[in-house]
Every structure is written in C-alpha cells, then in structure tokens.
C-alpha cells in the first residue's frame, strides 16, 4: 500500500510541472480568474459564455474562445472577461470563458 501511494504522489509531481499560467491541483482544480478588463466589472448588461471539455487529458472538444462567448451573449462592447477551470484528476475537465459587456 505504501508503494502504491508513493507511485501516485510521484506521478502527480511529474505531471503537475513546476509552473503554470493558472493555479493547478494534481487531484482537483476549481479556479475562477479574470483574463482581461476593458472598463472594469461594473455597468454591463449582457453575459456570454463559451465552453470546452477534455476527457482523460487525451481528447478535448469545444470552443471556449472569447469570440464565441461574445457571439453567444450578443455583445458588441466587451467590459471584462473571466475564465473558469474545473478538472478532476486530469480525467474530466471543463473550461468556461465568460464575457461581460453591452
């Protein structure tokens, strides 16, 4: 049992890497963060979202682009952009971009 735990922990360190542009947990990640702000997070009237997902870290599908979120929300002027990442053991991942604007 101790050998199995050691292998799981070492594997996590190998796949986790040393640095990332976003906070990442080896076992579970659930992060909300801002990407950009044009005029600040106040005074918006519309919200658009776009999503992508991954399975087993092998297959990823979807469109989590800002352009698609703008289209989905009918936004003409972007106020700010957020992203949300949720990942469980690298098996199931969901990535959402949210655009706020007018």
* pTM to 2 decimal places: 0.69
Give yes or no for a contact between 14 and 26, defined as CB atoms under 8 angstroms apart: no
Domain residues for 61? 2-101
Distances from the Cα of 5 to the Cα of 1, 28, 30, 39, angstroms: 6, 17, 24, 48
**Would you state the pLDDT for residue 63?**
92
User: What pLDDT does 50 receive?
Assistant: 95
Other Cβ atoms less than 10 A from the Cβ of 92: the count is 13
Number of domains composing the chain: 1
Tokens 């990640």 -> residue: 29
Residue ranges of the chain with per-residue pLDDT less than 70:
1-26, 36-42
Task: At 82, give phi and psi (nearest 5°).
Answer: -120, 160
């Amino acid at each position: 049992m101790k050998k199995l735990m050691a292998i799981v922990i070492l594997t996590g360190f190998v796949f986790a890497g040393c640095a990332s542009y976003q906070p990442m947990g080896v076992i579970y990640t659930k992060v909300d963060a801002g990407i950009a702000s044009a005029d600040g997070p106040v005074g918006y009237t519309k919200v658009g979202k776009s999503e992508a997902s991954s399975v087993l870290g092998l297959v990823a599908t979807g469109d989590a682009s800002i352009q698609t979120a703008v289209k989905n929300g009918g936004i003409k002027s972007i106020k700010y952009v957020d992203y949300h990442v949720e990942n469980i053991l690298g098996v199931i991942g969901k990535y959402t971009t949210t655009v706020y604007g007018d």
